[in-house]
């Protein structure tokens, strides 16, 4: 009986330690990403990509650049998130898949959830298609947020993947379409943070995305 009691106590202590480690890791990424938005029904998985003025209708969106440079990778991810054209022969899920394809293996489900915040909901996409809407991002700056240094200093060993970094993108989102035979164009400023990991001599992968307009400062 005494041995059984001690065994249960040891199991309880080990289980509590594992739970604490999980909470710390989840807490860090929660701090970086911020609170989740309420989920929307019938929203596809994530992604996007296209040039502001496409010269042809592609059957598939352009892939994200394979590179070991975190800034070049971030710029390519930003383009994939914002540069799409409803007139192309691809669906919303195709634009979404481009970003998921470069996600870090362990973070792919979370990245898929992140990207839903950047693409229109399925019903909105159908409406935009009737207007022949296209969208593109004009990037103004890509910088390392000051808070990232603090995150690295406070993280426990092994808590943040080796080669991980953050880049905050600031720019202007443009949309153009036709409504009642009249060309319409809108624009608005956007900012967000892209978390990537670029191991030595290996191509970068995507860890997470901040909420749109809630970047890491």
Query: What digits encode the pLDDT tens for the residues 108-156?
Result: 999 999 999 999 999 999 999 999 999 999 999 999 999 999 999 999 9
User: Is 159 part of any domain?
Assistant: yes
Place of tokens 């989102």: 173
At 148, is the secondary structure helix, strand, or coil? Answer: helix
Q: For the chain, give the percent of residues with pLDDT over 70.
A: 73
User: Is 105 part of any domain?
Assistant: yes
Strands (E), 43-162: 84-85, 134-143
User: Is 27 part of any domain?
Assistant: no
User: What pLDDT, in 10s, does the model give residues 55-112?
Assistant: 445 678 999 999 999 999 999 999 999 999 999 989 999 999 999 999 999 999 999 9
User: Is 32 part of any domain?
Assistant: no
User: Is 127 part of any domain?
Assistant: yes
pLDDT attached to residue 58: 62
DSSP one-letter code for 103:
B
Task: Give me the number of domains the chain comprises.
Answer: 1
Q: Please tell me whether the overall predicted TM-score, pTM, comes out greater than 0.85 for this model.
A: no
At 85, is the secondary structure helix, strand, or coil? Answer: strand
Alpha-carbon 7 to chain mean position: 44
User: Is 193 part of any domain?
Assistant: yes
Instruction: Give residue 89's domain range.
Output: 44-209
User: Is 185 part of any domain?
Assistant: yes
User: Is 24 part of any domain?
Assistant: no
């Amino acid at each position: 009986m005494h041995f059984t009691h001690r065994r249960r106590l040891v199991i309880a202590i080990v289980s509590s330690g594992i739970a604490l480690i999980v909470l710390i890791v989840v807490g860090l990424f929660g701090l970086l990403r911020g609170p989740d938005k309420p989920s929307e029904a019938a929203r596809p998985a994530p992604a996007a990509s296209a040039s502001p003025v496409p010269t042809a209708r592609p059957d598939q969106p352009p892939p994200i650049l394979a590179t070991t440079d975190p800034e070049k990778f971030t710029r390519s991810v930003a383009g994939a998130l914002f540069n799409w054209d409803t007139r192309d022969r691809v669906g919303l899920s195709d634009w979404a898949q481009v970003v998921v394809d470069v996600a870090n293996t362990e973070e792919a489900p979370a990245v898929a959830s992140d990207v839903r915040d950047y693409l229109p909901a399925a019903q909105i996409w159908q409406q935009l298609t009737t207007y022949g809407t296209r969208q593109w991002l004009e990037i103004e700056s890509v910088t390392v947020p000051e808070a990232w240094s603090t995150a690295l200093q406070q993280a426990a060993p092994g808590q943040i993947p080796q080669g991980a970094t953050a880049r905050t993108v600031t720019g202007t989102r443009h949309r153009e379409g036709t409504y009642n035979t009249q060309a319409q164009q809108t624009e608005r400023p956007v900012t967000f943070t892209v978390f990537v990991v670029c191991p030595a001599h290996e191509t970068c992968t995507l860890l997470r995305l901040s909420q749109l307009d809630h970047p890491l400062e």
